[in-house]
Structures are given as structure tokens and as C-alpha cells.
Amino acid sequence: MKILICTDGSEHSQQAIRFSLPILKQPNTRVTLLFVAPRVEEEFKFYEEIFEEAFEKMREAFKGLKYKDPGVKILEKSRKTLLSRGVEAETKMRVGDPAEEILKEVEEGGYDLLVMGSHGWKGIKKFFMGSVTNKVLQNVQIPLLIYKKPPHKT
Amino acid sequence: MVFCVLLSGFALHKWAGFTNDQVIASSIFLATVLGTLMFWSFRVGIAFIGIALLLLTRVIDVEHTVEFAALDVILFLVGMMITVGLLREVGVFRWLMIKMVKATRFQVGRIVVLLCFTSAVLAMAVGEVISIVFIAAIVLELCEYLKTNPVPLLITSVLATNVGSAGTLLGNPIGVLIAMKSGLSFEDFMLWAFPVSILSLIATIIVVFIFYRKEFDDLKKKVRVSSEKLGRTGFLDEWSVVRDRKEFYKAVSIFVFVLGFIALHRRIEELMGLGHNVMLLAASLTGSGIVMLWKRTKARLYLERDVDWWTLTFFMLLFAKAGALAYTGVTDEIAKAIAGFAGHSMPVLITVILWVSCIGSSMLDNVVLVAALIPVIKSFQGIVPSLDPLWWALLFGGCFGGNITMVGSTANIIALGILEKKERIIITFFRWFWVGLVAGAVATLVAQIMLLLLWPHQVG
């Protein structure tokens, strides 16, 4: 079975990974971790080269600093969580609208199950943020496992 | 979008009694506004088609289109972008950033205050966009070094950049536009805009200290941990980021020369009997000319790489469309409506223009808004004793309002792009909005108080 897990580095996605471990540990399971990086604002692109040059040169003054893409760090963190539970996973990064890119990856990769966490935004925040999970839920053609944090017990 | 434009055109014709030309001019301008709001990457395309439609419908002729395109503003910006490009290439900004970090002595209070003042002063000298590009680079390095989240410090820097950009006529394209259209000089900006900008900056710093008190407390702990490491490595030599010191000094001399002529442009114009702001344009063109003669093998590169032609082309077409609004009398109608509401009372007019431009520029590109409001303010000529207080209200509203939302100014959009590219962080609307709203409103309120106190002196 091919399983795709979406991660954004948040606690929600880490919990989704932990929650789905019993399925991930099944024999003959291939796990892929996906992080979708945001698309860079068009207006910034003109200044991108100038910024990159400044960023690299100034780094010389901060001795010992090495840049590592935060997307790579997020994927490594999730991969480590899986490895510590004995699950091997390959990692992938895409750039663009999160929901659209997840749907594209599902279509291109021929997966059997999609796992993701939900932030559980409500009210006005949900309206402004939109919901990646909702958009994926509406359009995905394979089984989907959504982990939603249960409400606090009083 | 087409439906909205047609509907508003019909409404203007039916209820506001607009003529056909006025309906076409305002509908095409509205299409540009909607284009910048919703279809950012299509905005230049929409601007091109808009001008073609204005010409084909005979709303304006070619001569007036060229006249309204404000080549003086565009050429001034081209000249300054080339000179600033030289400063960037020889490492002046990198050098300045490292100097600033050293001056902070890694104390959180000093980091925040120095970051805000450097952002603001750099914006005043070379414009908000270049200022934020370099400030963002140093903030990301610093935060990575201190292993802390860069978002609070980056938002703080952007807020300071926008406030600082109102301090001189070099800070923001709307400052250049207002100066060229109103005849206000660099000295006028130093006398009336600079002090207000500094006061608003202090108010903004207080707001961010209150708003981000938790984050800054957390930063204090991180700094304590890193201080031992700092003592051991003894890093940060500002000259390590400069390739050639001779070139560095030469480039700074050219910039100081240009800045000197810009600062004295009004006096030189009076001495030589030149027209308003001729020296302003000449200083910018001479500076960039010297740069291109000195670096002749790279001259073409400066013109292509350091001049933001995409934005400048949009500005030219936008100014022409705003000119069409004035040409067809639409802006006179708006001025009449404002006068009907605000009367001829200067304090009320200042308040209305300040807050309309503040709220408007929080949602729109401030250049779009200011381009439309300049002819409106010109329509008040003869109605009020002096237009100067209204120009300042427009400038402060246009710059400070940009702090309210994350799309309020070019500096905001660039900072967001940097965060997306380097940190893979998307800032949510509300993460920016609450701090932006309070900082923007407080800075505008300071400007309001100062304008109400100062306007009798400006008129006199």
C-alpha cells in the first residue's frame, strides 16, 4: 500500500503521523512524506537576486552559520518521528498552493491512502485562512485519514 | 471584475450624472484598482489595455497621455535606482547592517530600537524597498544566530520602514509623486514631514514593545545563552562584507554628492532661475550618469538589473489614467463631494484626507490611491488658503496606512516574499493585522495631532 502523509511542521501534522502509526507499520507499506512550500510573491521575485546576494555575503560575518531550507528541516523532523517508530519514509517537497499541490501529488504518485492533520480553525479565522483539509476532502479520489485534535477534557 | 466595472459605470451615469467620458475614465481606473487588489500579476496587462481603451474611446488624446504619464517622476526614480544599485554592489548596505548589529551589543531593547531607526532612516535615504531587502536579510541572520522566530522582528522592521518612508521625498514613490505635482521641495519635507515621521516612529516602537513583549522577553533569554558563544568567536567585521574599500568610498561620495544637490535643489533652482524641482531631477540623472560612466562595462546591467521597470511601467500607465480622471473632470466632482461633506474647514479636510488615504492605502497599492487623490487635492486650489497641509495629510495617510494590512505596501509584500522563500513561513492575515492596525492607527493619530497643530504655520 502506498501512503502519502502531508506535514507542515505543526503539532497537528506530527500528531497525525503518531495516530496513523498502526496503519503505517503494516507489511508492504511504502510511506512518503510531503511538505508543500508556499509560492513566493511575484513582487518579491525582482528583488530575490539582490536579497540572496546580501543574505549570502552577510552570512560571512556570522561565522559558523549554514543555511538549511526550513522545508527540509520540517521533513527531517517528521522522518525522524517515523524512524524512531521503525517506519521508513521517503520525503518530497513541492511549491505552490498546499491543497492543489497535495491533490497533484496524489494523482501523480498513485497512492492508496492520504494522511493529514487538521488545524481545526473556526469562525472568522477559518473564513480568512480557508481550509486546506476541506479543499482536499472535497476533491480527493482516494481514502483520506484526517487527524483532528479532540477538544480539551474538563 | 468586468461585471463590477460595468455596474459601477452604469451607477455613475444614472445617479451621479457623469458624462460618457467621465464614466469611461472612472470605470477604467476602477478596473486598475480591482486588478491590483485581486489579480496582482495581471495589473500591468490591465494597465496597458486601459490606456488603449482611453485612447480608442477618445477620452484623452496621445499628447495628454504622454503629459500625464509623469516622466519626471519616472526618470527621477530610474536615476535613484541606478545610484542605489551602485551602493548595493560595493557593499554599503551590508556594511551598514553589520555595523548596526555590532551597535546593538546584543541587548534586546537596543536590537529593537536600532533596527527600527535603521529601517526608517535607510528608507528615508534610499527608499522603502531597498531598505527592507537588506534589513530582512540581517533580521533572518540574526534570528537564526539567536535561534529565535524572525517574524516579530521582521514585522517590526517593516512597520518602521513604512513610517520612515514618509520622512523624506526619497523614502517612497508617493513622496516623489507628491513633490513633483505639488512643488514641495526636499527642504519642505525635512521641515514638515521628517519630524512627524520621527514622532510616529517613536509611537510605533512603543506599540511593538507592548504588542511583542512576550516574544522580546523570550529573545532576552536566547541572547543570554548566545552571549557566551559571542565572546568566544569574536565575529562580525563589517569590512569582511566589502570587496574593495576604494570603490566603497567612491560610491558613497557619489551618493553624498547626489544627496547634497537634492537637499539644496530649491536654493539652486532659485539661484539659477530654474523651474520647480528641475534640480531634483537633474541631480538624480547626473548621479546615475556618473555611475554609468564610471562603471561603463556594467552600465547596461545597472539599467536592467537595478531599475524595476515592471513597477515603473505600471506607474506611468497609472499616472496617465489618473490624469484622465482629472482631464474629464471626475476628480473635480470628487473634490466637490468632499467639500460638501467637510465644508471649507481646514482641520476637517486634513482629517478626511489623512484617514481616507490611510484606510485606502491599507487595502490598495498606495501609489494607485495617491495618483487618484492628487488631482482631487489640486481641485481645492482657491477653495482653501493653502494646499500644503492637504499634501502632508495625503503623504502620511498613504505611508502609515500601508502598515495596517499585509498587502498595504511594497515593503510588506517583499518582506512576506522573503519569509516565504527563506523561512517557508506564510503570515496569516490576522497575524499581521492586529499589530499593523494598532501601529498604523497610532502613527496616523500622531500625524493627525501634528498636522492640526502645524497647519496654521504651513498656511502662513
Buried b or exposed e, range A69-97, using 16+ CB within 10 angstroms = ebbeebbeebbebbeeeebebebebbeeb
Segment of A98-102, B101-105, B158-162, B235-239 carrying the highest mean pLDDT = B158-162
Q: Which of chain A's residues have a Cβ under 8 Å away from the Cβ of B236?
A: 61-62
What pLDDT score does B270 carry?
A: 93
Q: What is the rounded CA–CA span in Å between residue B116 and residue B284?
A: 27
One-letter amino acid of B138: I
Question: Three-state DSSP class for B223?
Answer: helix
Higher pLDDT, A130 or B400: B400
Query: Residues B223, B225, B226, B228: is their CA dihedral positive or negative?
Result: positive
Extract the C-alpha cell encoding B239: 569590512
Segment of A14-18, B49-53, B382-386 carrying the highest mean pLDDT = B49-53
Whether A35 and A17 have beta carbons less than 8 Å apart is answered as no
Whether A110 and A2 have beta carbons less than 8 Å apart is answered as yes
- Helices B128-145 and B151-164 pack at an angle, to 10 degrees, of 160
B364, B352, B436: which is closest to B394 by C-alpha? B352
With cut-offs at 50, 70 and 90, classify the pLDDT of residue B389.
Answer: very high
Question: In chain A, whose CA is at the least distance from the CA of B139?
Answer: A55
Q: What is the rounded CA–CA span in Å between residue B444 and residue B163?
A: 9
**Phi/psi of residue B173, nearest 5 degrees:** -55, -30
Whether A18 and A87 have beta carbons less than 8 Å apart is answered as no
Q: Does A58 touch chain B (CB under 8 A)?
A: yes
Question: In chain A, whose CA is at the least distance from the CA of B90?
Answer: A54
Q: Could you write out the DSSP letters of every residue in B44-92?
A: HHHHHHHHHHHHHTTSS-HHHHHHHT-HHHHHHHHHHHHHHHHHHHHTH
Q: What is the rounded CA–CA span in Å between residue B272 and residue A25?
A: 85
A116, β-bridge pairs? A146
What pLDDT score does B33 carry?
A: 79
Q: Locate all alpha helices (DSSP H) within B264-403, ordered by sequence.
A: 265-272, 278-294, 299-301, 309-327, 330-342, 346-363, 366-378, 388-400
Torsion-angle region of A6 (φ positive above 0: left; ψ -120 to 50: alpha; else: beta): beta
Does residue A76 carry a pLDDT above 70? yes
Whether B290 and B21 have beta carbons less than 8 Å apart is answered as no
> Which residue reads 561620495 in cell numbers?
B253
> Which residue reads 544637490 in cell numbers?
B261
Distance from CA of A13 to the nearest CA of B (A): 16
With cut-offs at 50, 70 and 90, classify the pLDDT of residue B391.
Answer: very high
Q: Which of chain B's residues have a Cβ under 8 Å away from the Cβ of A37?
A: 420, 424
Of B8-12, B266-270, B395-399, B400-404, the least confident = B8-12
B76, B99, B97: which is closest to B173 by C-alpha? B76
pLDDT tens for each residue of B14-35: 666 788 888 888 888 888 878 7
| Closest Cβ opposite residue A62 in set B40, B141, B417 | B141
Whether B131 and B399 have beta carbons less than 8 Å apart is answered as no
With cut-offs at 50, 70 and 90, classify the pLDDT of residue B229.
Answer: low
Q: What is the rounded CA–CA span in Å between residue A39 and residue A95?
A: 6
Q: Which of chain B's residues have a Cβ under 8 Å away from the Cβ of A128?
A: 428-430
What is the torsion angle, in degrees rounded to the nearest 10, for the CA atoms of residue B42, residue B47, residue B52 and residue B58? 140
A148, β-bridge pairs? A118
Distance from CA of B141 to the nearest CA of A (A): 7
With cut-offs at 50, 70 and 90, classify the pLDDT of residue A3.
Answer: very high
B61, B40, B83, B122: which is closest to B407 by C-alpha? B40
Of A63-72, B133-142, B345-354, the least confident = A63-72
Q: Does A38 touch chain B (CB under 8 A)?
A: yes
Q: Does A21 touch chain B (CB under 8 A)?
A: no
What pLDDT score does B144 carry?
A: 85
Q: Record the pTM.
A: 0.86
pLDDT tens for each residue of B55-67: 999 999 999 999 9
| Closest Cβ opposite residue B421 in set A48, A60, A63 | A48
**Contact assignment for A58 to B428 by CB distance below 8 Å:** no
Whether B18 and B8 have beta carbons less than 8 Å apart is answered as no
pLDDT tens for each residue of A77-128: 999 999 998 899 999 999 888 889 999 999 999 999 999 988 755 555 555 4
Mean per-residue pLDDT of chain B:
89
Higher pLDDT, A120 or A45: A45
**Contact assignment for A60 to B428 by CB distance below 8 Å:** no
| Closest Cβ opposite residue A43 in set B144, B241, B413 | B413
> Which ipTM was obtained for this model?
0.81
With cut-offs at 50, 70 and 90, classify the pLDDT of residue A154.
Answer: very low
Q: Does A68 touch chain B (CB under 8 A)?
A: no
**Contact assignment for B425 to A70 by CB distance below 8 Å:** yes
H or E stretch covering A41: none
**Contact assignment for A40 to B98 by CB distance below 8 Å:** no
Does residue A39 carry a pLDDT above 80? no
What pLDDT score does B234 carry?
A: 54
Mean pLDDT, residues B408-430 taken together: 85
**Contact assignment for A65 to B140 by CB distance below 8 Å:** no
Q: Locate all alpha helices (DSSP H) within chain A, ordered by sequence.
A: 11-19, 21-24, 42-59, 70-84, 98-109, 123-129, 132-139
Neighbour count for residue B113 (Cβ, 10 Å): 16
pLDDT tens for each residue of B95-142: 999 899 888 888 899 999 999 999 999 999 999 999 999 999 999 988
With cut-offs at 50, 70 and 90, classify the pLDDT of residue B1.
Answer: low
Q: What is the rounded CA–CA span in Å between residue B405 and residue B437?
A: 7
Q: What is the rounded CA–CA span in Å between residue B111 and residue B101?
A: 7
Mean pLDDT, residues B134-155 taken together: 90
Does residue B243 carry a pLDDT above 80? yes
Q: Does A127 touch chain B (CB under 8 A)?
A: no
Question: Three-state DSSP class for A32?
Answer: strand
Q: What is the rounded CA–CA span in Å between residue B420 and residue A63?
A: 25
Residue B128 neighbours by CB under 8 Å, 6+ apart? B161, B162, B164, B165, B171, B172, B409, B410, B411
Residue A154 neighbours by CB under 8 Å, 6+ apart? none
What pLDDT score does A11 carry?
A: 82
Domains and CATH numbers, chain A: 2-39+68-148 (3.40.50.620)
One-letter amino acid of B43: R
Angle in degrees, CA B443, B109, B138, rounded to 5: 85
Q: Does A64 touch chain B (CB under 8 A)?
A: yes
pLDDT tens for each residue of B308-324: 898 899 999 999 999 99
- Helices B366-378 and B388-400 pack at an angle, to 10 degrees, of 170
Residue A153 neighbours by CB under 8 Å, 6+ apart? none
Q: What is the rounded CA–CA span in Å between residue B239 and residue A46?
A: 27
* Alpha-carbon distance values, B135 to A32, B154, B157, B432, B452 (Å): 38, 8, 7, 18, 33
